[in-house]
């Protein structure tokens, strides 16, 4: 992708690379009924690791934080030093498409806003292989939150994320891939704004000045701004759903 360095420069300055917050991470984790006292957790597409650190705080486990951008992993590990959870987190620079772990390795697999890179159904299949028997998977996935979204929204996601479906259809996919759904909930608007869009808009003002005249950088920044504007206008029709499930 041309200009990907500008995308990374923006994202590295943010608390997160997508919607979410610690409250939602805790709510999802606390919905897991039973797990190992010291679970081995894989965090796929960990990004800057806000949820990784929160999991380290609440799980008493060991977390493999997987991302294919070293800058994110460096940010995460700098944050763990401040939080004193450095020994609980193992950074792993690897694409989720290249995961070569042995089958039935992990007690819990976590992925907030990242599994869609594999395709939701393909991601479920791969996680099923990597989870121990009766292991748990928690993911956030973009969904329609209404049965009949406006044509403008449908057309937008036809190009941005064709795999988007409503919540019921995603649940059917979960069942097809041999998982039992434990719980699901929709992320609140604050999870989109407080740690993602509002910090992003602040950084965009800075970066637009820094790269004035750079058409490639400015086009990337404008795409992010348009995404935030679209969410504010149409957030009643789509959102992120947290799905927590157990391998059959």
- What confidence tier does 107 reach under pLDDT thresholds 50, 70, 90? very high
Contact between 24 and 95 (Cβ < 8 Å): no
Phi, psi of 27 (to 5 degrees): -60, -45
Cα–Cα distance for residue pair 137/246, rounded to 1 Å: 6
pLDDT of residue 160: 93
Q: What is the mean pLDDT of residues 125-147?
A: 97
Mean pLDDT of the chain: 96
As given in the structure block, the two tokens for residue 222 are: 């404008």
Contact between 99 and 128 (Cβ < 8 Å): no
- Is the pLDDT confidence value at 1 over 80? no
Contact between 205 and 218 (Cβ < 8 Å): no
- Is the pLDDT confidence value at 94 over 80? yes
pLDDT of residue 82: 75
pLDDT of residue 83: 77
- In order of start, what are the domains of the chain with their CATH numbers? 17-191+239-247 (3.40.50.150)
Percent of residues, the chain, with pLDDT higher than 90: 94
Cα–Cα distance for residue pair 56/80, rounded to 1 Å: 9
pLDDT digits (tens, 9 = 90+) for 184-234: 999 999 999 999 999 999 999 999 999 999 999 999 999 999 999 999 999
pLDDT of residue 2: 85
Contact between 164 and 142 (Cβ < 8 Å): yes
């Amino acid at each position: 992708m041309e200009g990907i360095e500008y995308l990374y420069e923006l994202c590295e300055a943010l608390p997160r690379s997508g919607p979410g917050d610690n409250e939602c991470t805790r709510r999802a984790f606390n919905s897991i009924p039973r797990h190992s006292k010291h679970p081995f957790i894989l965090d796929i597409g960990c990004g800057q690791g806000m949820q990784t650190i929160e999991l380290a705080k609440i799980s008493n486990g060991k977390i493999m934080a997987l991302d294919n951008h070293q800058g994110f992993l460096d940010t995460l590990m700098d944050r763990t030093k401040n939080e004193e959870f450095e020994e609980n987190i193992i950074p792993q620079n690897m694409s989720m498409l290249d995961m070569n772990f042995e089958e039935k390795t992990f007690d819990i697999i976590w992925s907030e806003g990242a599994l869609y890179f594999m395709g939701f159904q393909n991601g479920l299949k791969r996680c099923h292989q990597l989870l121990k028997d009766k292991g748990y998977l928690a993911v956030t996935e973009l969904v329609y939150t209404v049965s009949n979204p406006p044509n403008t929204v449908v057309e937008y996601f036809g190009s941005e994320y064709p795999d988007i479906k409503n919540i019921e259809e995603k649940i059917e996919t979960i069942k097809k891939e041999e998982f039992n759904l434990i719980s699901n909930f929709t992320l609140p608007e604050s999870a989109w704004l407080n740690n993602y869009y509002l910090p992003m808009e602040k950084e965009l003002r800075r970066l637009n000045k820094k790269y004035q005249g750079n058409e490639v950088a400015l086009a990337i920044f404008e795409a992010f701004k348009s995404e935030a504007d679209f969410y504010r206008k149409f957030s009643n029709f789509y959102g992120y759903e947290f799905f927590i499930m157990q391998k059959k």
